[in-house]
């Protein structure tokens, strides 16, 4: 649902730019949608659930070496996501000759692919272990990136972004599953330390790509993205065969015939 709602922002922004009204009206519409949702929540008296008591943590402060491998995998996949969010429009304008409005709205292609991928992706874990499923998702992302990066036409590049989104949809949930699986029974510590990986990627990767783009142009600089994908795939491959299988929760059987 979050990915689906995320389609609204780039679409409205791109439509306003394409109409010649600039980005401000598009941003105003998005802010208006948020305000409308807040009003609806007040009318229907939506309340935040009260916190439940949490048992005392058994955290000892140390995590196994395999956790660090999964942590590095999260850095790489988060770097892919933030670089796409901030730089896709520039690459579309420079290489695929898309208009400014279309290039801005095209980010919705990635988000749309993520929406579809997350709806269908949960079923993968019933067939494949987490590392293998992650390797498959990274391969789909790499194929989508290749189509996007090589495409001389905007429509073909946007098709590549949809494929890229399909693969990206599973990166974060699968890597979080890896972090928890390799937490040595300390999921609270594992998840809390994962925020440093995301923060590092979001804080550093766009600037690295920007520095490289100043020297060689945004299209060539975007080759950093497959390097990040390769780094994530290397980490997932190293965890293959060393990650506990995900066992679905038992479904209660009714006593009524």
Closest CA to 123 of 113, 136, 110, 112: 136
Q: What is the mean pLDDT of the chain?
A: 83
Question: How far is it, in rounded angstroms, from Cα 21 to Cα 8?
Answer: 17
Residues 6+ apart with CB under 8 A from 106: 10, 14, 88, 89, 92, 98, 154, 157, 158, 161
Q: Which domains does the chain have, with CATH numbers?
A: 64-238 (1.20.1250.20)
Q: How many Å apart are CA 54 and CA 52, to the nearest integer?
A: 6
Alpha carbons within 13 angstroms on the beta-carbon side of residue 166 total 15
Confidence (pLDDT) at 257: 36
Q: pLDDT category, 245, cuts 50, 70, 90?
A: low
Q: Which pTM does this prediction carry? A: 0.77
For residues 172 and 43, give the distance between their C-alpha atoms in angstroms, rounded to a whole number: 34
The pLDDT tens digits of the residues spanning 67-126 come to: 999 999 999 999 999 998 888 888 888 887 777 777 777 778 888 888 888 888 777 777
Q: Which residues contact 103 (CB under 8 A, 6 or more apart)?
A: 14, 88, 89, 90, 92, 93, 154
| 29-39 per-position pLDDT tens digit | 778 888 888 89
């Amino acid at each position: 649902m979050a990915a689906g709602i995320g389609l609204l922002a780039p679409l409205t922004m791109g439509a306003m730019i394409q109409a010649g009204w600039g980005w401000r009206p598009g941003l105003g519409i998005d802010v208006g949608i948020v305000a409308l949702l807040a009003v609806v929540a007040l009318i229907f008296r939506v309340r935040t659930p009260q916190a439940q008591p949490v048992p005392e943590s058994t955290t000892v402060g140390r995590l196994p070496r395999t956790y660090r491998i999964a942590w590095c995998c999260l850095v790489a996949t988060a770097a892919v996501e933030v670089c796409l969010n901030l730089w896709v429009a520039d690459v579309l304008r420079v290489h695929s000759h898309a208009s400014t409005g279309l290039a801005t709205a095209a980010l919705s292609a990635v988000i749309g692919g993520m929406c579809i991928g997350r709806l269908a992706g949960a079923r993968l874990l019933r067939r494949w272990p987490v590392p293998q499923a992650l390797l498959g998702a990274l391969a789909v992302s790499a194929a989508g990136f290749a189509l996007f990066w090589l495409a001389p036409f905007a429509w073909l590049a946007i098709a590549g972004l949809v494929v890229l989104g399909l693969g990206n949809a599973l990166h974060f949930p699968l890597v979080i599953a890896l972090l928890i699986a390799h937490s040595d029974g300390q999921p609270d510590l594992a998840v809390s330390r994962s925020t440093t990986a995301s923060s590092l990627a979001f804080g550093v990767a766009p600037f690295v790509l920007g520095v490289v783009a100043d020297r060689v142009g945004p299209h060539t600089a975007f080759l950093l993205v497959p390097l990040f994908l390769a780094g994530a795939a290397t980490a997932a491959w190293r965890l293959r065969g060393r990650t506990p299988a995900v066992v679905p929760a038992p479904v209660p059987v009714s006593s009524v015939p």
